[in-house]
Amino acid sequence: MKKLVILTVSVLAIIGLVVLQIYMSADSHVVVVKDNAVLTDKNDNLETANKKLETSNKSLKNKVTTLSEEVTSLEEVNQGLVEKVEVAEKQLDETKKQLENEKANPSSVSNGDKFNFKPIKLPDSDDNQ
């Protein structure tokens, strides 16, 4: 009988410990479920933000491509303008040299020898009287 009492008390103690363990783990399980719900909500928010960032990133990449094309176009225009300015500077330098040569060499200034002048015969008398 004593053994039966000890065995019954032991079984009840083990059952009590199991119930206590289930109760304790259930409490922590509830905390884990709450944390999981919070983390799921945060994850959804992060996924939404990530999608917005991806859309923004695509938009910015398109803008970069457009700006790169515009830069290339402007560089071509700029190169054309630089070439035109260089040609104009060369022409200006040539014109300055020509003017300096003309100033330094006065014989090159026209004295009328280039023209073919013919003498004019004037009347001997005045017919208006």
pLDDT tens column, 60-109: 999 999 999 999 999 999 999 999 999 999 999 999 988 888 777 765 55
**Which pTM was predicted?**
0.44
Question: What is the tally of helices (H) and strands (E) in the chain?
Answer: 1, 0
Question: 16: phi > 0 → left, psi -120 to 50 → alpha, else beta; which?
Answer: alpha
**CA distance readout (Å), 41 to 32, 36, 45:** 14, 9, 6
Q: In total, how many domains does the chain have?
A: 1
Q: Is residue 2 part of a domain?
A: no
Q: Which of 10-19, 46-55, 56-65 has the lowest mean pLDDT?
A: 10-19
Which pLDDT score, from 0 to 100, does residue 114 have?
66
The structure tokens 């032991």 sit at 10
- Residue 117 inside a domain? The answer is no
Q: Is 115 part of any domain?
A: no
Task: Identify the pLDDT of residue 91.
Answer: 95
Residue 13, pLDDT above cutoff 70: yes
The DSSP symbol for 122 reads: P
| 49, part of any domain | yes
Structure tokens given for 55: 């859309």
In a domain, residue 123? The reply is no
Residue range(s) defining the domain that contains residue 74: 9-102
